[in-house]
C-alpha cells in the first residue's frame, strides 16, 4: 500500500483516517474480494458470463485471488460486454429465483449498456442513507425526485431511499436521451422548453402542500429550479427544502460555492458520484476552508474507486496526483473488476468516516473529452 504521508501534499483540512482504520478497512476489502470472487466463479452460484470467461483465464480465480490486489490478474473489464443480450448471462445461478431488474446507461444512439440488478440498488441507497445528516434529511420527510428516469436505476433508487427513511417520493419524469438529442440537433429552444416543462411540474408539486423537504436533482435542474423560484419571489429554502442530494461531473468547487452562496437559501446539499455500474459514492463535507473541494469515497467494500496512471492502469497515482478512474464492483449480483471509467480526477487521502482512498476534481477523461473541433469562426 502507498504510504499516507507525502511531502508534496499540503496539510489536509479534514480529518484523515488513522493508519489502523485504513488497515482494518483494507483487510475487510481483501476478505470481501475473496468471498465475492468465490461466489461468481463457483459452478453452483456464478453467472454464465463469468463461468464461461473463466475458461479463457490463465489462473484459477477460486484459488488464486487472495486479496483485492490479486484482481489485477484479470484482464481489463470491457464495458462493451454489457451491450446487448441475453441479459440473463449476467444473472448468478445463486440469484436465479430472485426478482430481476435491468438498468441501462447511455443509449442515446445504439444499444445501451445494461446491468442486471436484484437488490443492489436498494442496498446501495440504504448504505448511502446512513451518510445523510438527519438535521437536513429528516426521517419521515417526503422527497421529490427531479432527475433522469426511464430505464435508469436512479428513480427507483431515490424512491427506495425515501421509503427506507419513512417518506414518500414524488417524481417528475425526465428523459436524458432526448435532452442529449436536442443538444446534438442544436434545438436549443426545445431544450429550454423541455427544461421548463420539468421545472413547472416540480414547482407545482412543491407548492401543492405535500410537505416535501428532501430532493434529488441534477446541478442543471437545481439551477433552473432555483432561478424559477426566485422569479416567483421565493427560494428553495422557503418552499421547505432542507436537504438536497445531487450528482454529476458539473459538480465543481466553483459551482458548489455559487449554489451554496446564491441558490440554496440555507438548504444543505451533498454531492454524490455514481453510476449504474458502481452504486453511489458519498462526499466528504464540502467546506469553504477546503476550497469547496468535492471529494468522493466509494461504498467499500461493495465498490472501489482507484485513481490510476493514465498509461499503466495497474498503478495507483500518488496522493494529490491526477489519474483515470478505475472502478471495481464486488457484490453478489455483480462482479466488475478494474473497469476504466470515462472520468479522471485527483487521488484523495482516506477520510475518517471512509478510511480508504477518495477522488476529487472528477471530470470527463481528457483523452475522450478532447474531441478536437476546429472552429473556423
| Binding region for another protein (CB under 8 A) | 186, 188-189, 192, 223-224, 226-227, 230-231, 252-255, 257-258, 262-263, 291-292, 372, 374-377
- The SS3 of residue 6 is coil
Q: Which CB, 219 or 301, lies closer to another protein? A: 219
* Rg, the chain, Cα only: 21
All three cell numbers of 86, joined, read 441475453
Give whichever of 111 and 368 is closer to another protein, judged by the CB atom.
368
Task: List the beta strands (DSSP E) in 137-177.
Answer: 142-146, 169-172
CB of 87 to another protein, least distance (A): 36
Q: Which is nearer to another protein, 98 or 235 (CB)?
A: 235
Neighbours of 161 (CB within 10 A): 26
The three-state DSSP-derived secondary structure of 280-303 is: EEEECCCCHHHCCCCEEECCCCCE
Q: For the residues of 185-223, what is the DSSP string, one character each?
A: HT-HHHHHHHHHHHHHHHHHHHTTT--EEEEEE-HHHHH
Task: Give min distance, CB of 288 to another protein, in A.
Answer: 10
Closest CB 225 distance from another protein, rounded Å = 11
Task: Quote the least distance from Cβ 209 to another protein, whole Å.
Answer: 26
Question: Closest distance between another protein and the C-beta of residue 187, in Å?
Answer: 9
Going by C-alpha positions, the residue among 212, 275, 215 that lies closest to residue 245 is 215
Please report where in the chains the cell 485471488 appears, as a residue.
Answer: 65
Residue whose CB is less far from another protein, 83 or 257: 257
Q: Which is nearer to another protein, 111 or 227 (CB)?
A: 227
Shortest distance, CB of residue 348 to another protein, whole angstroms? 17
- Closest to another protein by CB, 294 vs 359, is 294
Query: Which residue is associated with the grid cell 436521451?
Result: 177
Of 138 and 176, the one with the shorter C-beta distance to another protein is 176
Smallest distance from the beta carbon of 253 to another protein, in angstroms? Answer: 5
Burial 331-356 (b: 16+ CB within 10 A, else e): bbbbbbbbbbbebbbbbbbbbeebbb
Amino acid at each position: 500500500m502507498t504510504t499516507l504521508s507525502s511531502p508534496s501534499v499540503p496539510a489536509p483540512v479534514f480529518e484523515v483516517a488513522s493508519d489502523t482504520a485504513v488497515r482494518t478497512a483494507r483487510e475487510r476489502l481483501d476478505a470481501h474480494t475473496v468471498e465475492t470472487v468465490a461466489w461468481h466463479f463457483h459452478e453452483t452460484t456464478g453467472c454464465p458470463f463469468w463461468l464461461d470467461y473463466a475458461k479463457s483465464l490463465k489462473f484459477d480465480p477460486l484459488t488464486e485471488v487472495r486479496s483485492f490486489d490479486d484482481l489485477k490478474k484479470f484482464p481489463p473489464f470491457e464495458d462493451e460486454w454489457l451491450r446487448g443480450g441475453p441479459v440473463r448471462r449476467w444473472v448468478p445461478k445463486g440469484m436465479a429465483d430472485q426478482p430481476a431488474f435491468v438498468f441501462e446507461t447511455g443509449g442515446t444512439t445504439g444499444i445501451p449498456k445494461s446491468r442486471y440488478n436484484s437488490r443492489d440498488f436498494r442496498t446501495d441507497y440504504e448504505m448511502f442513507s446512513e451518510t445523510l445528516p438527519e438535521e437536513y434529511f429528516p426521517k419521515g420527510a417526503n422527497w421529490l425526485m427531479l432527475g433522469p428516469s426511464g430505464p435508469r436505476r436512479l428513480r427507483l433508487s431515490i424512491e427506495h431511499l425515501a421509503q427506507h427513511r419513512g417518506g414518500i417520493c414524488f417524481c417528475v419524469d425526465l428523459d436524458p436521451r432526448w435532452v442529449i438529442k436536442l443538444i446534438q440537433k442544436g434545438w436549443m429552444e426545445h431544450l429550454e422548453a423541455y427544461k421548463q416543462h420539468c421545472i413547472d411540474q416540480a414547482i407545482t408539486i412543491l407548492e401543492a402542500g405535500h410537505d416535501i423537504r428532501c430532493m434529488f436533482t441534477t446541478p442543471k435542474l437545481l439551477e433552473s429550479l432555483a432561478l424559477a423560484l426566485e422569479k416567483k419571489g421565493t427560494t428553495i429554502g422557503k418552499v421547505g427544502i432542507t436537504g438536497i442530494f445531487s450528482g454529476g461531473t458539473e459538480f465543481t468547487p466553483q459551482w458548489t460555492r455559487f449554489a451554496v452562496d446564491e441558490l440554496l437559501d440555507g438548504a444543505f446539499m451533498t454531492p454524490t458520484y455514481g453510476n449504474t455500474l458502481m452504486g453511489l459514492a458519498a462526499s466528504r463535507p464540502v467546506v469553504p476552508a477546503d476550497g469547496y473541494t468535492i471529494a468522493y469515497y466509494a461504498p467499500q467494500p461493495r465498490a472501489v474507486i482507484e485513481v490510476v496512471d493514465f498509461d499503466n492502469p495497474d498503478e495507483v497515482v500518488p496522493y494529490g496526483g491526477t489519474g483515470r478512474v478505475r472502478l471495481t464492483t464486488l457484490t453478489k449480483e455483480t462482479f466488475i473488476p478494474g473497469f476504466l471509467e470515462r472520468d479522471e480526477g485527483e487521488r484523495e487521502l482516506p477520510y475518517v468516516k471512509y478510511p480508504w482512498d477518495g477522488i476529487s476534481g472528477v471530470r470527463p477523461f481528457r483523452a475522450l473529452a478532447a474531441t478536437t473541433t476546429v472552429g473556423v469562426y
